[in-house]
Chain A
Amino acid sequence: MRKFLVLSSLFTLLLYPETFHSIQIDGENDFSPDEAVVIDDANDSYWSSQNELDTLFLTWNAETLFIGCSYTLNNNALLIFLDTETGGIDNANGLDWYPRDVRFSGAKPDFLVALWNCDLSLGGVRKLGENTSPVSYRGINSGSPGEKNFLEVAIPFELLGNPQKISLTALICGGDYAGAGDVMPDDPSVRGSGNAIINIFREITIDGDGDGVPDSLIAPVDVSKTEEYKVSFPEFKSVFINPSIAQTGPVAIHVELTDTATLTVALFTEEGRFLKNVIEGVRTDFIEYSWDIHDLDKGIYILKFYTSENRGMLKKAFVRY
């Protein structure tokens, strides 16, 4: 009788895999269909079937989060962004590790699983911030470029900050500072070239009762939903140059943004030729900059205000006479 109960329990687990489910990190896909939290459309990559995302798996046990990804890749990068808590990054182009021309609206990822050309030794897992920092993990990638690959990684929840929810997006991107060719969940901003603004994420509730312990005996697909956030980025609230016509300095450059962003103010000639950056890559939501114009020749100039988080820009004319 006891043997029967053990066997039937094992059979049930095999048929209906639920958390807590420990994945063997061996390159074999032993995730279950109930752990396939995102199934991507076949042949929807902008970069041919050689660079195609397939399925994103996720499950956990009490201590560890397991992520699996089946995909095909050829001379490109696979990136899986995780948002586990408040804060995080909204522009992957500014990263010091795997920088890519991808921005985020709504969720702000704080962890990244990445590899280059099916080689996990060229990637890994890092915590994102102004500077990225490696995170301890177990992982393996099986397969070779141009063929079907399977990546699986195990990350301790403790290192992820014991999140209640995780939002995910996986992308295939080119080299440093390049854009994306495929994404799952699908996001229309990925078009195979140029900048992408990801605002669609798969959100998985891991600790629904908020007791600090990941939930057990649930199928991850049952606690998964696709979240589409409104795209919004810091905008200019007020910008002025005082005085905007000056003979001598200093000149005050005042910039106020709706949110913190990386601000640059560039100086151009009247004809539109770039001269220099007056303010370069300053992280702020308000600045009152004292601009020394003594080395500026007499003439009309154009100041361009922009943030790395937003494609929008603002232009003002300035005269030194």
Chain B
Amino acid sequence: MLLLILSSTAYLTGMGGAISPLERPENIFINPASIGKKIVHITFYRPFNIDDFYKGDLYSSFILKGVNFGVGLKATRVNRGYTRVISAIGIKYGIFGVSLSQKYESAPGSKSFLLNYDWNAGIRFSLRGFAFALSRKRLGFGFITSAGSLSFETTPDFKSLYAGVEFIVNRVISGSAGWMNGRPAIGLYLHNPRFDIEMGFLTNSELGETTIVSVGWRL
């Protein structure tokens, strides 16, 4: 049960996401077969604390007539003029999932909005503690126990690599530590039956740190 309520910032702190022992809703962007069950998450951060550079994510997943749905928004605002919003909707049934996403961009001087559509499909299954998740966007495998998980993920072009370990201290506290493209990251998560509060710290020796704050409500 605890595995299901862990963080949405984990994917930003080295844990990857598609393996998803967590079944987090944001996985509709990574692997729709891994979307969560009944939860809403809001995440906000400023990458490397750069002025006029903001990112915010909103995700939700819910069950309707026995079918798992997920919706999400990823918004980016840069230099007070450029906005990018990626929205997605996904559906999961059994070990399969599909999603559709749309990218909206606006920039000064751009006479029309740019709209791009994309799709994703994936599969996720586990066998004796080993989990495998394959999709158009992410390939990964991991090992899951009740005390935590270990995961390795990469993008299909192998340009990005994620590795992480997640540990569950008790029903209230859990954490993650990992590598995102060779950069260390840690996350600390506090939970109660209704809410999650999550802090993630990404370090980059050349650009400094990113602090990620996420709040979740279980539906």
Contact = CB atoms under 8 A, between A and B. Distances in A.
Interface stretch (A47-55, A99-107, A269-277): A269-277
Contacts of A247: 107, 109-110
What is the interface residue range for chain A against chain B?
20 to 34
Interface of A: 243-245, 247, 266, 268, 270-274, 300, 302, 304, 313, 315-319, 321
Most chain B CB neighbours (cut-off 10 Å) among A247, A270, A319 = A319
Contacts of B108: 243, 245
Contacts, number: 65
A77 B112 CA distance: 64
B114 A319 contact: no
25 contacts: A244-B79, A245-B82, A247-B107, A247-B110, A266-B206, A270-B47, A271-B160, A271-B181, A272-B47, A273-B181, A300-B78, A302-B48, A302-B50, A304-B206, A304-B207, A315-B48, A315-B49, A316-B51, A317-B50, A317-B78, A317-B79, A319-B79, A319-B81, A321-B82, A321-B105
A315 B50 CA distance: 6
Interface of B: 47-53, 76, 78-79, 81-82, 84, 105, 107-110, 114, 160, 180-181, 183, 202, 204, 206-208
Contacts of B160: 271
A245 B107 contact: yes
A316 B181 contact: no
Contacts of B81: 244-245, 319
A315 B81 CA distance: 17
B110 A321 contact: yes
A240 B165 CA distance: 40
Report, nearest first, the 9 A-B pairs whose CB atoms are least far apart. Answer: A317-B53, A244-B79, A319-B82, A272-B204, A321-B107, A315-B50, A245-B82, A317-B78, A245-B81
